Structure 1
Amino acid sequence: MGEAPLTFVRTGRGRLLHDLRRHGHDTWCLRRLGVCASTETELSQWLVQHPRCGLHSRAVLADHQIRAHGQYGRRWMASRGGVWLSAALPWPQQQCSTGLFGLTVALALAEQVESTGLQVSIKWPNDLLIDSRKLAGVLPTLVFRGSRVRLARIGVGLNVSNPVPPGAVSLRERLSSGRCRLRVWQGAVLRALDRARELALDPCMVVCGAEQRLWAESVADPGTGEAWQVRGIGMDGRLLLEQGTRRTSWTRWTDSPDQDL
């Protein structure tokens, strides 16, 4: 039997935009879907079909993804109850690394969660943790024209009321049900992305804020098992490590070449 066709339902966008505008965030173009394969794919198609959006940011939100894109191209299912979105932003810092961009978004998102009183740590390079359990992840991509950033793209997944696998945590485990309304957290993530654009103008603040929230003081090399002490974060988003007199750094993100978007 063939696979059932996907259904695309746009609901609740008006209320979300109203909430954003009420908080002074009126530069968003939104598409909200009931079910889709991947918000990343939907966003790519939107950018190809309508490449110009002025100074507005765009986001595709889905209640449920069946083939979501993760780190290193991994596919996973994003269940109902979480915030799943992909966004494209005009980025104010024209000379930027993908690693620093991802940390900027992670820091802004951490600030939003911390406004509830929860303590958040950043697991370099792309996860937010509460008590060593994964709460959220970001997937950053920069599109360049020459040496200048043309577009910043970010995928965000935040566990709110959705079921989570072992090793993860949702907000409903730590907050009252009244503080876990999905639309509220969708708006919070979009406001965090606006905040990230502000933070991008002060890379030193981003590095300092991310360093204060680092999840561990030491890490193990996945290839050799060697233990390295975490020294901090470089201005390009690299994780700085040392082992006695030896020093090294890690980076995982690669920048995207210019695309006709």
Structure 2
Amino acid sequence: MKVIGSAAKTVFYLKKIQGQYPSWRLHYKIKCKSTEHELSNWLRYSEIKRNQPVAIIAREQFSGFGQNSKIWVSKKGGIWLSAAYPIFSKEFTSQIFNLSLGIKICEMLRQDNINVCLKWPNDIFVGSKKLIGFLPRVITRGKETIYVRIGLGMNVLNQTPSEGISLSKVLKTKNINQDYWTAKVIKAFHDSIECNNKKEYVIKSANKFLTKRFLPSGFCPQTWKIKDIDSNGNLRIQNDTQEKVLRRF
């Protein structure tokens, strides 16, 4: 495992929990514009290699963004990272990639008795508050998926806006090891790739974790309600007279 910068503690925990995993290349930033910007620059000048995923981890970012370019407040105390994972396959199912990552993060947190749910397509909530947001992308060449990438933010010890919640508030303690949780997030990303060929399991798990409390923007909760996630990873919503299918990709 190649480490660039001060990511040694994350590497320590990753080695303890990862088992026989690929050799990650980790870069650590004290402060940056955004880890997405840093990762894009790295990919522009460096070739992603088979069996060597790369992650950029920042202590603080001053211009982070999420879904639909919404600003993501990224103060010290959170986990802010972007990662790219080599695929090089025509068999990868891109339609369920966001769900496979979502369910693996949910499973990871529920192992620690944190009752989280999945807000389709790519948010992890505790009750009515956002704990984690992630932005998935699939990079293809013809019919082949070359690599997938994510930008992810997790509230841990940082102050959050009113719509968010931190892990420290959920667990009611500030005695939280950020490096350990960073390693767990990276492992969840790997696990999401490993289960991509288990479509039925991914869809079933996604429906198990799915919260139906929050409709996508533009739909009135007095009129519409969430039905489920269909076999292609799309969200189905319905009202008294019709059904709509909302697609992530």
| TM-score of the aligned structures, taking structure 2 as reference length | 0.89
Structure 1 residue 191 and structure 2 residue 205: aligned? no
The structural deviation recorded for 1:234 is: 2.0
Equivalent of residue 209 in structure 1, options 186, 205, 211: 205
Q: Does 2:6 align with 1:12?
A: yes
Describe the SS at the equivalent of 1:190. Answer: helix
The whole-number CA distance in structure 1 between the counterparts of 2:176 and 2:222 is: 41
Structure-1 residue corresponding to 2:93: 96
Q: Which of 124, 135, 138 pairs up with 2:134?
A: 138
Matched, 1:250 2:235: no
- Rounded to whole Å, the distance in 2 between the matches of 1:66 and 1:171 is 21
What amino acid does structure 2 have at the position aligned with 1:22? K
> What SS is found at the alignment partner of 1:76?
coil
Aligned counterpart for 2:56 among listed residues 39, 50, 60: 60
State percent identity of aligned pairs: 28
Provide structure 1 residue ranges, at least 5 long, that are not aligned to the other structure: 1-9, 255-261
Q: Contact 2:22–2:53 at 8 Å: present in 1 too?
A: no
Paired with 1:37 and 1:167, the residues of 2 have a C-alpha distance of 23
Moved over 6 A (4+): none
Query: Structure 2 regions of 5+ residues with no counterpart?
Result: none
Q: Is 1:118 the counterpart of 2:114 in the alignment?
A: yes
DSSP 3-state at the match of 2:163: coil
- Count of matched residue positions in the alignment of Structure 1 and Structure 2: 243
Letter paired with 2:16: R
**Aligned Cα RMSD in Å?**
2.2
Range that drifts further, 220-229 or 120-129:
220-229
Residue of 223, 229, 233 corresponding to 2:225: 229
TM-score, length basis structure 1: 0.85
CA distance in 1, matches of 2:144, 2:75: 36
Query: 1:186–1:220: structure 2 CA closer, same or farther, 3 Å change rule?
Result: closer
